[in-house]
Amino acid sequence: MEVAVRTLAGGGLVAIPTETVYGLGAAINSDIAIAKIFAVKGRPQDHPLIVHIADIEQLQFVASSIPLDALKIAHACWPGPITLLLQRGDQVPTTVTGGRETVAVRIPDNAFTRQLITKLGSPIVAPSANRFGKVSPTNAQHVCDDLQGDVDLIVDDGACSIGVESTIIDFSVSPPQLLRPGGIPIEDIEHILGFAIGSSDGVSRASGMLQSHYRPQCQVVLVENDEEAAGLTARLTPQQLPSRVLNRCENLPNYASSLYNDLRQADDDNIQTLIAVLPSNTGLGAAIIDRLVKAAAPI
């Protein structure tokens, strides 16, 4: 903990555990460290970072206005895998928001990281701790595999319990819009609010909204069920082999928490074609489908 605080305070990068994926963290007030995040990831400058806070009181320093509905969700779901898009507060540099007047913020459900933010005395900004466009890391070894040498410290707190990124809801517009399906199902949020969330306008405001993202080396092909997977397997050419079928539809939390490891493992095992069975489009299924579709998209 002390080393992590010192590293961040000194303008270094620390890979931090969260319940969604591992983050590549910098202190919000360190311009140098923020610049390093973009350099290390190879991330375009206009792709904003999520601001991680330790308690709801810190929200007033990050956002200039907080709609009541956003506050309701914050109280109901934080700490947890939901990110709120709000009007940017003065203390948030535009390098963090990709030049936008909105800021994305959440409280992660990881005790170490929350304590780190508290001891540092300022929010930590972080995207996922992987190279841009590639598969997100859900354990410390994944971060090592991707970024070793480019990050000052990696905190190992085991595997991420949720395993897919946070749900992002834009509360800077009315009615609020879903920018990215994630760890908290949209149905749960609508239930708390008592009204329907809009779908995004299609403007690429969240990097997770790009067509191709979360991509392994192997070709990912999507099917509806096991029969289709078997039929497709039988038709693969020798160059498309070896293949593997990925189907964890009977347990969606498990599908989500294993997904990025499954994509990485396919590459480690030299699989050429990964045939993934899509879950139904409800609850966590929406986030899993979103990631699989992007993993399967041509670059």
Candidate list 18, 58, 122, 128; residue touching ligand AMP; CB under 6 A: 128
Coil, strand or helix at 220: strand
User: Sign (positive/negative) of CA torsion 294, 249, 190, 68?
Assistant: negative
> Contact between 18 and Mg ion (CB under 5 A)?
no
Binding mask 161-180 for ligand AMP (x = CB under 6 A): ----x--x----------xx
> Contact between 113 and ligand AMP (CB under 6 A)?
no
Query: In Å, how far are 81, 129, 146, 170, 253 from 96, measured between CA atoms?
Result: 20, 16, 22, 17, 31
| Single-letter code of the amino acid located at 259 | L
> Contact between 177 and Mg ion (CB under 5 A)?
no
User: Sign (positive/negative) of CA torsion 58, 287, 143, 38?
Assistant: negative
Nearest approach in angstroms of CB 261 to Mg ion is 15
> Contact between 47 and ligand AMP (CB under 6 A)?
yes
288 interacts with, out of Mg ion, ligand AMP, none, CB within 5 to 8 A per kind: none
Burial of residue 235 (CB within 10 Å: 0-12, 13-18, 19+) is exposed
Backbone angles phi, psi at 113, to 5 degrees: -65, -40
215 interacts with, out of ligand AMP, Mg ion, none, CB within 5 to 8 A per kind: none
- The answer to whether 241 touches 211, Cβ cutoff 8 Å, is no
> Contact between 127 and ligand AMP (CB under 6 A)?
yes
Number of residues that bind ligand AMP (CB under 6 A): 19
Nearest approach in angstroms of CB 222 to ligand AMP is 21
Binding mask 177-206 for ligand AMP (x = CB under 6 A): --xx------------------------xx
Work out the end-to-end distance of the chain between its first and last CA atoms, rounded to an integer number of angstroms.
39
Residues found near ligand AMP in the complex (CB under 6 A): 47-48, 50, 85, 97, 100, 102-104, 127-128, 165, 168, 179-180, 205-208
